[in-house]
Structure 1
């Protein structure tokens, strides 16, 4: 996981620091590709989903629950590793944490989508996966403000792929991730004098946000019944 984070962190950090949404969104697409397709020894979402399905007598809901539990643990581990040391490590840890958390959460949501019958090669589904990273509160708030036009389910099942919507969603998600990391920074400032406490805070925050996103994806991406194409 740390290797995956370092792979794209050097590209994401400058974009995040300049708050350039399109530049950061471009790197987020790379994160999504790693999460769905895998990278070296980091298996992709479909493999993870099928592995859990094999262990749960083909019970889709049990497999989804197992996927969420696994990624909560992964998020906690990578959050702890990148947060230990408090303010001393912040200049390096924040970009790595931002990237690592995005990869973990995107793979979790993509695995849930696969288990519910969605085609991960479909660009509409990939946009929906990214949208889920906003979480229920994030999506609801943006729907009220009209900064997001529709829900993850509607995006995944739309008649056609909308490139402009895809760019909009990616920019919103990058902004949300940066805001979350900034919020965690405040917690680390409070705990900087207590050894290892900063790591515990990082693990707790990342694990909790991953749980919430997993629950939202589970609720939002309802079972997709694929209809055969008529001749």
Structure 2
């Protein structure tokens, strides 16, 4: 973990400079591909959602609760980045811990969307998934500042897919993820002299952020029939 922390520290500044809206959109598209389709031993969102739905007798809300619980535990496990099918080696231009956490949280939100009846192949839904990764506070703050124009639900059910909005949201999400990693690194620096405390803080930060995102996605992505894309 010390090596990962050093890598994160050295990568934050150049990463922040590197992510134009187009580059951020490319990174988030790759994250979503892995989260939705799976990678090696890391099953995709639909597979995870359907498994929990079967275990809970077809009750979508119980399945969503189980999905969120599973991903909180996964996010909170120290070293999970290197334990889920080699995600740390993926060619995604983000620090290793950030890549793993983003994929885990994106899969959680995508699983919730699938359980609520949304088509994960729909680009509007994929934009809504990454918007949910900002969390309720992040979305509310950006709506007030007009750096985000609408809610995840409105994005998922819009009449047409908006590529410019997708790029804008991607830039906001990447900036938010980098800020979270920076804040986590600062917290770990404070606790590094206390045995085991740093690991507990790191697990707690990742688990708590995942819980808040899952809670927001559960509340935001209500069940409704999506409209077809107008071409």
TM-score, normalisation: structure 2: 0.84
The alpha-carbon deviation at position 104 of structure 1 amounts to 0.5
Greater percentage in helix = 1
Seen in structure 2, the aligned counterparts of structure 1 residues 227 and 192 have a Cα distance that, compared at 3 Å, is closer
TM-superposed deviation, 1:227: 7.3
Counterpart Cα distance in 1 of 2:80 and 2:68: 21
Please give the alpha-carbon distance, in whole angstroms, between the structure 1 residues aligned to 2:175 and 2:74. Answer: 22
Equivalent residue, structure 2, for 1:35:
35
The total of aligned residue pairs comes to 209
Please report how far the alpha carbon of residue 20 of structure 1 lies from its aligned counterpart in structure 2 after TM superposition. Answer: 2.4
Q: In the alignment, which residue of structure 2 is the partner of 1:81?
A: 79
Q: CA deviation at 1:225?
A: 2.9
Q: Return the offset for 1:18.
A: 2.7
**DSSP 3-state at the match of 1:148:** coil
Pairwise mapping of residues 136-155 of structure 1 onto structure 2 (< 5 A)?
Answer: 136-155=136-155
SS of the aligned residue for 1:118 comes to coil
Partner of residue 165, structure 2: 165
Match of 2:86?
Answer: none
Structure 2 residue matching 1:41: 3-state secondary structure: coil
- How much is the aligned-residue C-alpha RMSD, in angstroms? 2.5
Measured after TM superposition, the shift of residue 102 of structure 1 is 0.3
SS in 1 for 2:79: helix
Q: Is the 8 A contact 1:60 1:116 kept in 2?
A: yes
CA contact (8 A) 1:153 1:221 kept: yes
Measured after TM superposition, the shift of residue 13 of structure 1 is 6.8
Contact persistence 1:82–1:199 (CA under 8 A):
no
Determine the C-alpha separation between the residues in 1 that align with 2:116 and 2:173.
23
* Long gaps (5+) in structure 1: 84-93
Partner Cα distance (1:32, 1:24) in 2: 12
Q: TM-score, normalised by structure 1?
A: 0.84
1:157 and 1:17, CA in 2 relative to 1: closer, same or farther beyond 3 A?
closer
Answer yes or no: is the 8 Å Cα contact 1:75–1:203 preserved in 2: yes
Deviation beyond 6 Å, 4+ runs, structure 1: none
Corresponding residue for residue 195 of structure 2: 195
Q: Distance in 2 between matches of 1:145 and 1:13?
A: 24
